[in-house]
Homo-oligomer: A and B are copies of this chain.
Amino acid sequence: MTGGDEHPLALGALDGGERQTLTDRATVAIRAAIVDGRLRAGELYSVARLAERLEVSRTPVREALLLLERQGMVRFERNRGARVLKSSAHDLDEVFALRLLLEVPAARRAAELIGAHELEQLAEVLAAMREHVGDADERAFMAHDRRFHELLLAAAGNRRLVGVVGSLRDFVRFRGASTVGRGRDLSAIYEEHVRILDALRAGDPAAVGAAMRDHLVHTRELLLAADPAGDGEAAGEPPWPARLS
């Protein structure tokens, strides 16, 4: 279905930029800002102000916030603004309870279905992940972590699953780099992924499932320990980034 529009003389396809709407880009930008704390939980933000920061009109910003509202990250308060919701420890428990229910069986299933190409992709992501263990770049590390899970879920053969888990992931904010980002923790998480990939290569569903379960449980503990129950007010963060790319 995702066929080949591979025209031989593909005239200079406007490469880098896929046809993406401003709403899409605003969604990504705002979600990222919420996740890493540049937009603080509990605070009210107005569509107009955000639109100024992003240098777009109010419309795409409002549409982006509506999507994020549906996802549970913000809530519109009529005539007041959009409030960034805090994620409590209880929310984190809920998310990981569901991820356990979904990702562990999915990992088992992936062990049966996965092909050489997918294994290769996972290995590449893992290599990139390893890079960031050393420099303690939590942000980049987490991006690859996410990609790893996405590939694995896709390998389980259920497309919808990828979206559901992705949406669950988005709800979890990780605080400043000083929390999860300890080199030791990143290293441990990396090793857990290695174990998952090894079990996948061995084609051992039970082992893959167990490795995934351990990884999720451990990740939950790290996030829980890193969350001093609210506020946290990371110091010296730049208020908000400049525009979308």
Pick from B66, B91, B102, B168: contact of A23, CB under 8 Å: B66
Let me know if A160 and B168 touch, CB within 8 A: yes
- In the assembled complex, which residues on chain B have CB atoms less than 8 Å from the CB atom of A158? 94, 97-98, 240
Q: Which residue of B lies closest to A93 (CB)?
A: B158
Q: Mark A68-102, 1 if CB is under 8 A from B, else 0.
A: 00101000001000000000000100110110011
Are A101 and B105 within 8 A (Cβ)?
Answer: yes
Quick check: B105 and A243 within 8 Å, CB to CB?
yes
Whole-angstrom CA separation of A180 from B221 in the bound complex: 46
- Number of copies of this protein chain within its complex: 2
Least CB separation from A91: chain B residue: B160
Which residue from B78, B97, B108, B171 sits with its C-beta under 8 Å from A19? B78
- Beyond the given A63-B63, A67-B67, A164-B164, please list 6 additional residue pairs across the A-B interface where CB-CB is below 8 A: A62-B63, A98-B160, A98-B161, A101-B105, A105-B245, A109-B243
A sample of 14 cross-chain residue pairs with beta-carbon separation below 8 angstroms, ordered by A number, consists of A63-B66, A67-B67, A72-B160, A91-B160, A94-B158, A94-B159, A95-B160, A101-B105, A105-B243, A108-B243, A109-B243, A113-B240, A160-B171, A164-B168
| A-to-B contact residues, CB < 8 Å | 19, 23, 62-63, 66-67, 70, 72, 78, 91, 94-95, 97-98, 101-102, 105, 108-109, 113, 156-161, 163-164, 168, 171, 240, 243-245
